[in-house]
A = this chain, B = another copy of it.
Amino acid sequence: LSVEEDLSKFFNPRSVAVIGASDNPSKLGYDVFKNLREYGGRVYPVNVRREYVQGVKAFKSVLDIPDEVDLAVIVVPREYVAGVMRECGEKGVKAAVIITAGFSEVGEEGARLEREVISIARKYGIRVIGPNCVGIMNTWNNLNATFVTKAKRGYVAFVSQSGALGAAIIYKTIKERVGFSKFISVGNMADVDFADLMRYLANDPETKAIALYVEGVKNGRKFLQAAREVSRVKPVIALKGGRSASGSRAVASHTGSLAGNYRVYEAAFRQSGILVAETIDELLSMARAFTQPLPRGGRVAILTNAGGLGVLLTDEVERRGLRMAKLSEETVGRLREVLLPIASLKNPVDTVAGARGREYRECVKALVKDPNVDILIVACVVPTFASMSRTEHAEGVAEAVKEVKPDKPILAAFLAGHVSEDAKELLESAGIPNYERPEDAASAAKALVTYATYRRAAAGEAASKA
């Protein structure tokens, strides 16, 4: 990348000060400090009135802390934020997350305060995330500098311009066992913005894809330039809020930013290599796909033990402009050996309900080896027959992957509902993203193909320039 952003003090601080840490459960400073106590690094509460906060020795000011402070998390009332920032500056703090609200999002007086805070930050060289945000998380070192529940660990970095929506997505993903590498609630983006974060995350080894919830962008040129550069390294996927006329007006009263014309945004996004999602589930489904290798083309094979599921998946795959692969003679021959005579050997391959883990393993092996197949979607209605294990199909897939080590993407669409969390866990821990809705698996496949195509084109462009 031409410009690397060093935001590591935000995500890997040696020490953290929580300014406004509280013993009172009705204050955000209570939740923030409680969450941060789980962090491996050193965490200091700062509270002007208390000697101890949640049983930990507190300091009246960040200046009193007998240690360097890498990150300040600020949750004091807005009228104290400027003063606190000055003290942080004197202390040599270089990164501040300002959770406190009541700044540019509420009118002119707040906007004036925000400008003051940022000019202090500039003076002392402090980078600022916020104000008016939920905070940040790094699941890989248990840093939860927010007032909400910690996300599950995973490979998607999620950057949200809506704090509460971001929190809701975390609650949802915890339930669905979907993980994130980083979570960043950007708030008013008075300093650190989408562009800075994309550049930082491009170099983050735990982040395989960057998912954005965008309401409005202040500096469009900077945003698109960063997206263009970062997209050459790893995928950026965006969901735009305020696509409709009334939605766009709602954005103006929500984040105070201009949502702008969606068609313009969409075109600019796509030109910069950003993958566009239409819903939260699509955003997450697409981003989760990138633990897989990129496909060489767009020909999809589907394996299923339930005809209806194969039909719906095929519909969703073709609706997105992907093609169903024509299986090679050799593959069909191998499937014929493995499966019952009533199985359907055309793509989608329907093993029928009797197929077991062994058949799944052999079919997956045959299908990923087929030169006509670029992506495999392994679907399954997890059986509840007393005679079958509820994980054997997932095990079969994991075994096949271990054996073949395929260099093409495999996505799972195991519809397990309440009957087998284990089957899903097993797939995910074998590195295969699982989707419980056919449309999500198809969106994931489409994202892989779109991004692979963009990467090839970008590489070709770079080569022809050289």
CB distance from A48 to the nearest CB of B (A): 21
Tell which of B250, B350, B381, B419 touches A348, judged by Cβ atoms closer than 8 Å. B250
> How many copies are assembled?
2
> Is B31 within 8 A of A311, CB to CB?
no
Please, how many angstroms separate the alpha-carbon atoms of A102 and B340 in the complex? 12
Residues in B whose Cβ lies below 8 Å from that of A418: 149, 171-172, 174-175
Query: Is A241 interfacial (CB-CB < 8 Å)?
Result: yes
CB distance from A122 to the nearest CB of B (A): 27
> Is B250 within 8 A of A311, CB to CB?
yes
CB distance from A111 to the nearest CB of B (A): 13
A253 — nearest CB in chain B belongs to which residue? B344
Q: State how many residues of chain A have any CB contact under 8 Å with chain B.
A: 80
Tell which of B170, B245, B250 touches A307, judged by Cβ atoms closer than 8 Å. B250
> Is A417 within 8 A of B307, CB to CB?
no
CB distance from A256 to the nearest CB of B (A): 10
Query: Is A353 interfacial (CB-CB < 8 Å)?
Result: yes
Tell which of B28, B165, B174, B416 touches A306, judged by Cβ atoms closer than 8 Å. B165
Tell which of B315, B350, B416 touches A242, judged by Cβ atoms closer than 8 Å. B315
Please, how many angstroms separate the alpha-carbon atoms of A416 and B167 in the complex? 10
**Most B-side CB within 10 Å, residue of A30, A279, A305:** A279
> Is B318 within 8 A of A247, CB to CB?
yes
Residues in B whose Cβ lies below 8 Å from that of A11: none
Residues in B whose Cβ lies below 8 Å from that of A436: 172
Choose, from A59-67, A221-229, A382-390, the stretch at the interface: A382-390
Please, how many angstroms separate the alpha-carbon atoms of A117 and B309 in the complex? 29
> Is B246 within 8 A of A324, CB to CB?
yes
Choose, from A85-93, A156-164, A200-208, A448-456, the stretch at the interface: A156-164
Query: Is A112 interfacial (CB-CB < 8 Å)?
Result: no
Please, how many angstroms separate the alpha-carbon atoms of A347 and B168 in the complex? 21
A-B contact pairs, 13 of them (CB 8 A): A26-B386, A27-B387, A31-B385, A102-B342, A147-B384, A163-B306, A165-B306, A168-B309, A215-B308, A247-B318, A250-B311, A251-B311, A279-B312
